[in-house]
Chains A and B, each alone.
Chain A
């Protein structure tokens, strides 16, 4: 698994995809940060910035995973991986952790923004840390969705669009929580990515939400492994 992780991580920076992802991530994040916090000149709007960043992730993160498995299938290089003494879950996890590393690096680099904020205003450190932790897990979930769609097709673009659509649907579910029917509201609150994010906006590190994000990511990664196993048996 480590060999695949290493190769994949390197591949992100041999091709332009890693740089483009990082550049776009930082540019979009910088823009949102400027609009939501600096221009408003109030530290409390940092939560709005983080929420908008989740929507940006919905488009940016699938671009990172769209080629992960689809390209290997297209060029048949997956035959090397599948006929080597490595398990399918080892292959998937190696690639997943490589994408997660690139994302985490960009997220951490992006945190420099808060240094700027701290210099000119009052920053609630706990609020920012808990938001960053939450964003990390939401990003991990989106990458898992991206991996799943990448395993379904040879076409990277189809993989990206499929993941983006799915993520947006998962985000849009939260709009249903305004419905006044109590049981619908409780179900939506339970499954919605954004509802689960709410505690973090108050600086609360909600462990049940973290477990929720990790579990959904694990389900998508499990499905990805199943797609490969199914293809082997098909």
Chain B
């Protein structure tokens, strides 16, 4: 349904995309994952025809976005990072404008009512957009993307700036829309991808570093418990002790030292709770734990994990 072939985008000397390729099958919800500034929005802006690429090709349902943009744009509903709204308009009025703009042929009243029903906007149709909460503005943004019933929906960070309740609602909405549309969901939030998407493309510094099923991503995230422990005592002795403990997989100094304590990043297998053996071992030697907190994996950790898993798999195949 969507094909990106070796797409480059340069902003002067800055190489935002360095030759990315990926494809999305019909009915898939693809998570487009990457930290801020990775090139996600640039890629999506190229796909939706807002920007042109320096080199490469992009197709939507077999239609080239560069050669036949009018036809390709008809297939896409796009919610940019900042919903493209006109605050002075009423919700219904705005949706009617988008309907005209997209030159839709479906029955106007029925179509707009159906969309308002799906995104739960019916009761605010007569309100001015500027008076709506951020969550509702986001819904209006999604509603405009749905107008014309496009085959592909592209959502660029749709949950940014929303409160937890709104985030859950928007995620559920995206999941529901995924039953009838092919969706690209760009985000820098890992759990969002896990909850909503069926596949993930990870982008970092303008390059695709992983293109995996959601199971592979989950696998990469699971399997390890990580803690940051603040321990009093001589650094080398404590480190030696930690590394000798069979319950721990690894231990490293991460700094944040003060006069009496050092912080360590320690990892154990997921099915082992290392906290009690850790406490006992340190207490036996007279080293005091003055802080212990669990830490989640960062996006960068996931990239490293996904890439190294992939290399292992490919290495295995070659052997």
Contact = CB atoms under 8 A, between A and B. Distances in A.
Given A7-B86, A76-B82, A77-B84, A83 B101 contact: no
A81 B98 CA distance: 9
Given A83-B76, A85-B70, A85-B103, A232 B51 contact: yes
Given A83-B78, A84-B73, A85-B74, A7 B88 contact: no
Q: Does more than half of chain A's interface fall in helix, strand or loop, or is it mixed?
A: helix
Interface in B27-62: 45, 48-52
Interface string A56-88: 000000000000000000011111111111110
Interface in A31-70: none
A194 to B, nearest CB: 38
B144 interface: yes
A11 B72 CA distance: 29
Given A83-B73, A85-B70, A77 B52 contact: no
A210 to B, nearest CB: 32
Interface residues of A, number: 24
A80 B84 contact: yes
Interface in B85-130: 85-89, 97-98, 100-103
A55 to B, nearest CB: 32
A19 interface: no
Contact of A232 (B52, B85, B101, B102): B52
Contact of B101 (A15, A75, A79, A84): A84
A234 interface: yes
Contacts of A76: 80, 82, 84
Nearest to B97: A7
Contacts of B88: 11, 14-15
Nearest to B51: A232
Interface in A1-19: 2-4, 6-7, 11, 14-15
Contacts of B51: 232
A233 B51 CA distance: 6
Contacts of B52: 232-233
Contacts of A87: 70
A146 to B, nearest CB: 20
Which of B70, B86, B89, B102: most chain A CB closer than 10 A? B86
Interface in A175-234: 232-234
Contacts of A15: 88
A3 B50 contact: no
Contacts of B103: 3, 85
Contacts of B80: 76, 79-80, 83
Contact of B86 (A11, A82, A85): A11
Interface of B: 11, 45, 48-52, 69-71, 73-74, 76, 78, 80, 82, 84-89, 97-98, 100-103, 144
Given A3-B100, A75-B85, 18 more contacts: A3-B97, A14-B88, A15-B88, A75-B82, A75-B84, A77-B84, A77-B85, A79-B78, A79-B82, A79-B84, A80-B80, A80-B84, A80-B144, A81-B84, A82-B50, A83-B73, A86-B101, A87-B70
- Return the 4 tightest CB-CB contacts between A and B, nearest first: A3-B100, A80-B84, A77-B84, A83-B48
